[in-house]
Amino acid sequence: MSEGGLQCPLPLRQYPNVLLAHGGGGQLSRDLLHHLFLPQFENPLLAPLHDGAVVEIEGRSLAFSTDSYVVSPLFFPGGDIGRLAVNGTVNDLAMCGAKPLYLSCGFILEEGLKMEDLQRVILSCGEAAKEAEVLLVTGDTKVVEKGKGDSLFLNTSGIGLVERPLLPKMVKPGDAIIVSGTIGDHGIAIMSVREGLEFESEMKSDTASLYPLVAKLLDSCQQLHCLRDPTRGGIASALNEIAGAAGVGMVLEETAIPVRPEVQGACEILGLDPLYVANEGKLVAFVAKEESDKALEALRSHPLGKDAAVIGEVATGQEARSCPTGTVVMHTAVGGERIVEMMSGEQLPRIC
């Protein structure tokens, strides 16, 4: 166990092999990050554990982010792996308060992949980049033997110019918590294709560049404190991460959270909670309470933000007793209270 200088034996002892849940965005992903990666990579720029890093170069703040895409199937209603990869990194940069500028794109192809499929993905990357007004300025292609990769994996990295710094630690008690639209659309769209589930209306992924929404928020709100795009692990995991990083509690109103009826229905059937289902075109914003109306107006003025809603607030002093630091509490539809925990493991469908 001492090989490689690993100091913390916990995750290795408990899990001699990597599980799928280590990549699920929940508690096990967090354990992996904190016990395996961070002890080796630790530095002040990495420390905020935000969607991207913010680095200073000759007086300018640059946001820098990377993400890999392994979605299956490659094509799904509302998007495909190419569009997802471009928008994903664009959004990670936007969440740092940056205007995304340049992207790299690395392709790992499995021998036997249909040329036509590759072409479709490349076209889609190009279109998404054009729509997001970013340039794909460098790239790489590798081919692995058949059986050594699942048809196509993608990695994108990107840089953007920070317009105003936004960080989890800037979140303050009393801040309004705003979501830019309906939650869970992407995860359910993917799951319905992957599992061959058919519903009356087709569910589409919400994959989109969020920079236009961010630009509007930056313009209209001086006290915009933090942004996060709730991808893997859904808004539950995103809010828990920020509550932990900012050292605050949060209170959500269940009835205020926008969920499409078809997504709610699919979640009921599969035994999932939309709070934990992935999004690819939604953001959560933390804004000072007095600016929450302005923020809503700004978001709703764009088609991507038409369903924006205030879903709760960062706990203030009075609530702190029932909502301790690092905790997300929800006022339920029937007037009760419950905790919204970080996702643990993969969300698995129920059996009866």
Partner 1 sequence: MKYLDEYRDGDKVKAQLKALQERLTRPWQVMEVCGGQTHNFLKSGLDGLLPEGITLVHGPGCPVCVTPIELIDKAIALARQPQVIFCSFGDMLRVPGSKEDLLSAKSQGAEVRMVYSPLDALKIAEANPEHKVVFFAIGFETTAPMNAMAALQAKQRGVNNFYLLAANMLVPPAIAAILSARDCQVKGFLAPGHVCTVSGYVEYEEIAKQWWVPIVVTGFEPLDLIQGLYMLITQLETGSWKVENQYRRSATRQGNLAAKALMEQVFSVCDRKWRGLGPIPASGYCLKPEYADLDAEKVFQIEDITAEEPKECIAGLVLQGRKKPTECAAFGKKCTPQHPLGAPMVSSEGACAAYYQYGIKLRTS
Binding site for partner 1 (CB under 8 A): 14-21, 27-28, 31, 195, 255, 261, 264-265, 268, 271, 321-322, 324, 327, 329-339, 341, 344-345, 348-352
CB-based contact 224:171 (threshold 8 Å): no
The whole-angstrom separation of Cα 158 and Cα 102 is 5
Taking the complex as a whole, the smallest distance from the CB of residue 39 to partner 1 amounts, in Å, to 19
Rounded to a whole number of angstroms, the minimum distance from the CB of residue 327 to partner 1 is: 5
Q: How far is the CB of 21 from partner 1 (least distance, A)?
A: 7
| Partners of 224 in the β-ladder | 287
Q: Which is nearer to partner 1, 27 or 104 (CB)?
A: 27
DSSP state of 330: E
Q: Which residues of 101-138 are buried (b: 16+ CB within 10 A; e: fewer)?
A: bebbbbbbbbeebeeebbebbeebbeebbeebebebee
Neighbours of 335 (CB within 10 A): 7
Least Å distance, CB 341 to partner 1, is 5
Name the residue nearer to partner 1 (CB basis): 135 or 339: 339
How far lies 72's CA from each of 40, 51, 142, 266, 281, in Å?
A: 31, 23, 19, 19, 18
Angle (deg, nearest 10), helices 115-131 and 81-94: 30
Q: Which two tokens stand for residue 330?
A: 């929800």
78 φ/ψ sector (left φ>0, alpha ψ -120 to 50, else beta): left
- Nearer to partner 1 (CB atom), residue 98 or residue 323: 323
Between 165 and 349, CB nearer to partner 1 = 349
9 three-state secondary structure: coil
- Least distance from partner 1 to the Cβ atom of residue 352, Å: 4
Q: How far is the CB of 163 from partner 1 (least distance, A)?
A: 36
CA atoms within 13 A on the CB side of 153: 12
Question: Are the C-beta atoms of 160 and 99 separated by less than 8 Å?
Answer: yes
For the bound state, the minimum distance from the C-beta of residue 210 to partner 1, rounded and expressed in Å, comes to 27
Residue 229, both tokens: 């795009």
CA distance 274 to 266: 9
**Minimum distance from residue 333 beta carbon to partner 1 (Å):** 5
**Nearest approach, Cβ of residue 286 and partner 1 (Å):** 21
Please identify, using beta-carbon distances, which residue of 28 and 113 lies nearer to partner 1: 28
| Smallest distance from partner 1 to CB 258, Å | 13
Neighbouring C-alpha atoms within 13 Å toward the C-beta of 92: 25
Name the residue nearer to partner 1 (CB basis): 9 or 349: 349
User: Distance between the two ends of the chain, CA-based, in angstroms?
Assistant: 42
Specify burial of residue 75 (Cβ count, 10 A radius: 0-12, 13-18, 19+): middle
- If the CB atoms of residues 5 and 16 are measured against partner 1, the closer one turns out to be 16
Closer residue to partner 1 (CB): 43 or 201: 201
Closer CB to partner 1, 40 or 255, in the complex: 255
Rg of the chain taking only CA atoms, in angstroms: 20
Which CB sits closer to partner 1, 44 or 336?
Answer: 336
